[in-house]
Amino acid sequence: MRISKVTTKSGDKGNTSLGNGERVSKSHPLVVLLGDIDELNSYIGNAITVCKDEDVMDDLQSIQQDLFNLGGEVSLPNSGTILINDSRLDFLEGKIDSFNRSLKPLKEFVLPGGDEFCSRIHIARSVCRRAERSCVDALDVITESNVWLPYLNRLSDYFFVLARFISSEQGSEEILWDREQ
């Protein structure tokens, strides 16, 4: 699909088209999920602007490509289009395992924060969690099986572990939740 005209005015009354041409409300679960995926992709792009690690930057850009592919699948419901598969879950799980090897086990929750990059990654993580919740609603309106929910679940785990890993690499101390405070 190529976009030749951005302003069409066809959405001015609260409806939009999915990739298959079907007109739906902008509050339709698939459209909500598409919006959350788009927002997540933007937050990742925002984090990349302050990323100092080339390998992490490459991984994040690969994830951005995944999110466009995921959006493509969402916009073509029940079409058999598969752009995200188990290999992308394996990619995320491999990264999570690799980062986790050098991290101390957690005994409490970590307060979101750290340097500018880690703070932005924590925001991406929380937006990803919202997309995950939207995905649950979206899955109620489609009939075919996919890996959307597992992918978003792993992705939020990836962001959490990535923020911890980068903080550790920088020698920053994690601020843990103090249940007594």
Q: What is the CATH number of the domain that holds 124?
A: 1.20.1200.10
Does residue 51 form part of some domain?
Answer: yes
Does residue 103 form part of some domain?
Answer: no
Q: Report the percentage of the chain scoring pLDDT > 90.
A: 62
Does residue 165 form part of some domain?
Answer: yes
* Ramachandran bin of 22, using left for φ above 0, alpha for ψ from -120 to 50, beta for the remaining angles: beta
Does residue 14 form part of some domain?
Answer: no
- The answer to whether the beta carbons of residues 48 and 60 sit under 8 Å apart is yes
Q: How many domains does the chain have?
A: 1
CA gap 114, 141 in Å, rounded: 39
Q: What is the pTM of this model?
A: 0.89
Over residues 21-72, the pLDDT tens digits come to: 889 888 899 999 999 999 999 999 999 999 999 999 999 999 999 999 999 9
Does residue 15 form part of some domain?
Answer: no
Does residue 20 form part of some domain?
Answer: no
Which pLDDT band, with edges at 50, 70 and 90, does 3 fall under? low
Does residue 153 form part of some domain?
Answer: yes
Q: Which residues pair with 147 in a beta bridge?
A: none
What distance lies between CA 142 and its chain's CA centroid? 20
